[in-house]
Each structure stands twice: as C-alpha cells, then as structure tokens.
Amino acid sequence: MTHSSTLDIIDAHQHVGDLSDSLTMDGAAHGQRESEDVRRERDVAKRLALLDQQHVRQSVIIASHAYLRPDGIADTRRVNEGVVRYCQVRPDRFPYPVGVVEPLYGERGLAELDRCRDELGMTGISFHTRFQGVALDSPWMFRYLERMGELGLVPFVHALGVIADQALWRVDKLARAMPDLTMVVLAGFADAETPLQLHDVADRNPNLVFDISLAINFETFVEPAVRRLGAHRFVFGSDTYSAATRPGHVLGQLLGSAMDDADKAAIAGGNIRRVLSAASR
C-alpha cells in the first residue's frame, strides 16, 4: 500500500472561517477583538499542523459562506481579499485561493467574478446556496458559470443532498447546460441518498468531478462509485473549517482502502491538480 508520506496529497475542500454567524455551533467564539493579522497567523499555524499530521502537501483554500454581509458586495469583496492574503502567507502550501460571489448580486456579481480572476488571481469560486438565498439552479447561477468558463475559473459547487436547494439533480441541470465546464462537486457523499443518485448524474455529465469529504461509509458508497466511474472522477477533500483541531477521517479511509495505488494517488492529489492546472492555462 502506498504510504501517505510518498503521495502528492492535496486537500480540495478547506474553508477559512467558521459557521458561527449562520448556524448554531456550540463553543463558537463571537466578538473576537484580535486583529485580522493575528487571527490569520494563528489559523495558518493550526492549519499547517493539521496538514502535516496527515502528510497533506497543499490545500485549496475556500472562503466560508457564513460571513455577515450588512454592506453587501463590499463584504464579499473583503472576504475574497482575505482569502488571497491567507494564501499569500504560505503560497507553497496554499496555492489555490477560491472565492465566493453571491448570485443575488446579479450583474454586479459578474464584475466581482472578473475581479477575482483578473485582480486577485483566484483559482475558482465556491457556491453553497444554503447560505446564499437561492436554489443551485437559479437563473443567475447559469449566468455566473458561463462567465466563469470564459474566465477559466473552476466552480466548486456544494451538493448536500439533505438540503433541497442543493440537491444533485440541480447540479445535473447546470452540468448539462455547460458540458465543457469542469465543476468540482463538494460534499456529495455526506448523506446516504445522494451517492445513490451520483452514478447516473456522473454518467450523463463527464464534466463533473466529486470530492469525497464527509463520506459516511467509504466502503459502501465511495469505492463502488470509483469502480464504476473511474478514479479520475474523484478528489480528496476534508471540509475542514478554521475551528477544526483534529484531522478528518476520509484520507485515512482512502489510503487504507482496497483500491490500487494508482487510483489512490489520483484521488489523493493528482486529479485536483489536473483540474486546476487545466483551468489556469
């Protein structure tokens, strides 16, 4: 079995920030008076320690979707700039900054997509419509994805099946409308129902790549999907937030699985590097 220290492991699903402003999270800290620089320095050190425990070489850094936005797009711009500053602390470990744009910003959101690519040098944009006030297949999602394809930005689309507005059938609609745009689908293994739909949706849409974060049963759901669809359709992700203090379980399950070493290496890092490198050309 390939040892984790010999693999080029990239975590495709890590968030900066937490969920405490949108969800009830026990122990979440509010009203912190530390400066942004101090918080960032502490968070980077903690994140690097978590990565090193699992021999994860690099990670995609995604904005948290639970940020407060009393000033609308100005807050979104601030969050995106913060993600870039975070990655700049250790660009060797965090080479892939992924921002957020709110579909309800309409035309102004298109301008922010342009800025994310042209001024901030971002790799992709994440959508988690649970926090964004729209369904995943809302009209502005199609407009935004079309612009992202023109810009070379990779969509990271959360598809938690327990949330109706993020159901996988909505991802199916997006993917069929834009077959040339590769999309990374996040958290599709987090419940017992979505993986059962995943095979058919993936068969119809070769432009979809799925992360394995939050997989509730690796052997039951992930391994059969890999056997049917091929390892090239999957990437490792942990769904780590800034509040995390322990590594997740998914990487260990991947490396300890019965899959062959080439498939493990592809899922652990090769596939997401290929997707992001292709988009940046």
Q: What is the CATH number of the domain that holds 37?
A: 3.20.20.140
Is 2 inside any structural domain? no
Is 213 inside any structural domain? yes
pLDDT score of 30 more than 70: no
Task: Give mean pLDDT, residues 90-102.
Answer: 98
pLDDT score of 17 more than 90: no
Residue whose structure tokens are 């995106």: 80
Q: How confident is the model at residue 3 (pLDDT cuts 50, 70, 90)?
A: low
Q: What is the pTM of this model?
A: 0.93
- Its domain, for residue 207, covers 7-279
Is 1 inside any structural domain? no
Q: How confident is the model at residue 25 (pLDDT cuts 50, 70, 90)?
A: low
Q: How many CB atoms lie within 10 A of CB 30?
A: 6
Query: Could you read off the pLDDT of 214-270 as tens digits, one per residue?
Result: 998 999 999 999 999 999 999 999 999 988 888 889 999 999 999 999 999 999 999
- Quick one: 241 exposed, middle or buried, by C-beta within 10 A (0-12, 13-18, 19+)? middle
Contact 124, 184 (CB under 8 A): yes
Q: Report the percent of the chain where pLDDT is more than 90.
A: 84
Which helix (H) or strand (E) covers residue 196, if one does? helix 194-204
Q: Report the percent of the chain where pLDDT is more than 70.
A: 93
Residue 244: predicted pLDDT: 85
Which residue in 199, 249, 241 sits closest to 224, CA to CA?
199
Which residue in 208, 153, 216 sits closest to 186, CA to CA?
208
Average per-residue pLDDT in the chain?
A: 93
Cα gap 149→145, rounded to integer Å: 6
Q: How many domains, in total, are found in the chain?
A: 1
